[in-house]
Structure 1
Amino acid sequence: MLNRTAISSGAYLESFDSLPKDILWTQAQIDQSLAETMSRRPEQGDLWVFAYGSLMWNPVSEYDSRVIATLDDWRRSFCIRLIAGRGSPEKPGRMLSLEPGGTTEGVALRMPESTLNEELRILWIREMVTGAYTPTWAPIRFRAGGEAIALVFVANSHQAQFEPDARPAAIAPLMAVASGSFGTNAEYVFKLQRALADCQMCDSYIDELAAQLQRLT
């Protein structure tokens, strides 16, 4: 289960103990990544996190504001091989990330400066189990007007789990049969599609993938 208690207790990280040691990050590596990212932070105060996947419906970390936002120059892509959570070594699935190009609509979550250390620690444990993401600072535009610099987790194309072919036709057959302790890979896509619809958003890539998965499952 992906929740605050599981992350805080260590149970979440322990659930990945079966992963190969060469891709599983230690707590020290996770902490170092957080420290290095924060050392490059362009501004102080409250912090915006751009959510484009499961952070939209299950953020776990606490926040005090949630608004619709757009991230330019990045697009959704299921480009990370998934062998735990919603996949397995025998039937790997795909995990969502962002690749360069295009535009992504999502939600921006504002974390107050007063609770930032704890909330970011929880976020990093959640997202950086294998170092499959590169934490990045990027400008976002709010639907209601205005902009901010946000923390965004994008694909680490140098990581061993990165898969360059993320076309729906190529990945749907894999994702249709992939599952793990968190549920099925297809379920994630359907949840994402619903979360986007709830925010009056759509993503043609997600819609195409969901349609193919519906035919296969």
Structure 2
Amino acid sequence: MNSLTKILRAGRLASLAAALVVSPAVPSALAAPGPAPAAAPSADVERAVAALRAISSMRADFVQTDRNGQRLTGTLTLQRPGKIRFQYQPGVPLLIVSDGAALTVIDYEVRQVSRWPIRNSPLGALLNPDKDVARYARLLPTTNPDVLSLEIKDPRHPEYGTLTLIMVRKPGAPGGLQLDSWVALDSQNQRTTIRLSNQQYGVPVPANMFRYNDPRPQIRH
């Protein structure tokens, strides 16, 4: 693989990874304020949010799919408050981590590191401990009474995108609801889907799980 092909390949993979965590910036003058959020979330919304908050730590396998059908697999590790790691399949030179304050996308092939505040990401609804998720969430109809579909969108900040969480009733999961999958939709309608399997809750998480090796050349003074 020549250097140009590597750069193009890495760029496509990085774009797929970035779509998972980043909403492209929208100038505030163009961001419509939207209607005020609903004042009284339903009991199911409250139950779903409580189940999310009850996850102290989780490890799961994931399949990530973009709107063009490109798929990546890997292992997800989550720890509250605000920490997550997407460890991609062997051969994919990408890593996504959140240290509780910012989401970082590391592209080892082109030695690039990009960081965004959690609050500017669709995943902020899942990770940001300061976000009042219930205030901006609404239930979407499903055909299965054991499945909850929760759409989370801040009408005052459409540039943050929309996160739709799918949760399945399961007695052994925190709060009786298992996080099954989610769809992140950014402000430019770029859609990324994450499907989880083999969820394990309350797992021990090493202290260095949410750190990364910086691939950028170090400048010596």
Interval of TM-score (by shorter of Structure 1 and Structure 2): under 0.3
Larger Rg: 2
Q: TM-score, normalised by structure 2?
A: 0.24
